């Protein structure tokens, strides 16, 4: 039997699955990378997939003129919620999940860029994705790069993480659909081009692009260890849920 199959949606050049994709592939999961920005056609359904990963991008969740495939991604996210299929929406992916499920995304009053501390909420310790990483001794910090944020959670969503500037850093819908505002997939090398393309907006925030990348580079080892393990935990959930679905009924 081949490994569990994950549909991955990439919205823009330079915003691939990075270390999350590497960890999933190392676990034997099959990655179906769809790049609608490059002309790939999104599937009409999640049939044939066991997990769904929606990545980030510089557009916002309402920028349908710039990225006309966004409504179709929203439809797939609603399908994932209906199926309770293991799903992870990252940054724009979380914002699309929020909008698709009836929540509200707004412009952030205080955008987050660079390395930021995360604070677990009470439900995080019981969550099967975040639970292993939220004990008192775990360092929780991640790369942020967003000017939009979830203002109102979808109905029934369970808040899991917060931060000083952004109330909703992670949430769960059902048992298996997660959105995260931060970027568990990237390291310093991945965000180098982001800094180059966002010089003006970063300077408007009083940030130096090279300084942001250097800050992330200083914590590279810890980021790789923490969020690499997080990716593996999500991959294990995809595989576990697929095995549960595929297991024959007991005699």
Which residues are designated catalytic?
Answer: 91, 183, 185
Least Cα distance to 97 among 180, 36, 167 occurs for 180
User: What residues are paired with 178 via a beta bridge?
Assistant: 88, 172
The Cα–Cα gap between 26 and 20 comes to 10
Write down the residue that tokens 């081949």 correspond to: 2
Residues 6+ apart with CB under 8 A from 54: 8, 9, 73, 77, 87, 88, 89, 90, 92, 93, 96, 97
CA torsion 245-153-54-120 (nearest 10°) is -80
| Number of residues that this document lists for the chain | 251
Classify the C-alpha dihedral 45-51-56-57 as positive or negative.
negative
CB neighbours of residue 247 within 10 Å: 8
The Cα–Cα gap between 181 and 183 comes to 7
Do 234 and 86 touch, CB atoms closer than 8 A?
Answer: yes
User: What residues are paired with 113 via a beta bridge?
Assistant: 145
- Fill in the DSSP letter of residue 36: G
CB neighbours of residue 109 within 10 Å: 8
């Amino acid at each position: 039997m081949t490994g569990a199959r994950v549909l991955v949606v990439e919205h823009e050049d330079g915003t691939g699955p990075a270390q999350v994709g590497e960890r999933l592939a190392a676990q034997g999961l099959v990655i179906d990378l769809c790049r609608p920005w490059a002309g790939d056609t999104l599937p009409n359904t999640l049939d044939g997939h066991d997990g769904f990963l929606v990545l980030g991008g510089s557009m916002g969740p309402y920028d349908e003129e710039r990225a006309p495939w966004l409504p179709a991604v929203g439809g797939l996210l609603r399908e994932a919620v209906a199926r309770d299929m293991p799903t992870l929406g990252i940054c724009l992916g979380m914002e699309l999940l929020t909008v698709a499920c009836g929540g509200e995304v707004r412009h952030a009053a205080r955008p987050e860029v660079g390395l930021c501390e995360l604070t677990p909420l009470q439900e995080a310790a019981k969550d099967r994705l975040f639970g292993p990483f939220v004990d008192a001794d775990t360092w929780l910090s991640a790369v942020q790069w967003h000017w939009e944020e979830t203002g109102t959670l979808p109905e029934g969503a369970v808040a899991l993480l917060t931060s000083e500037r952004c109330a909703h850093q992670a949430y769960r819908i059902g048992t298996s659909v997660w959105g995260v505002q931060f970027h568990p997939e990237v390291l310093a090398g991945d965000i180098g081009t982001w800094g180059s393309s966002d010089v003006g907006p970063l300077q408007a925030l009083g940030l130096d692009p090279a300084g942001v990348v250097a800050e992330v580079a200083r914590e590279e080892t810890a980021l790789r260890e923490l969020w690499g393990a997080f990716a593996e935990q999500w991959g294990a959930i995809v595989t576990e849920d697929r095995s549960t679905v595929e297991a024959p009924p007991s005699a």
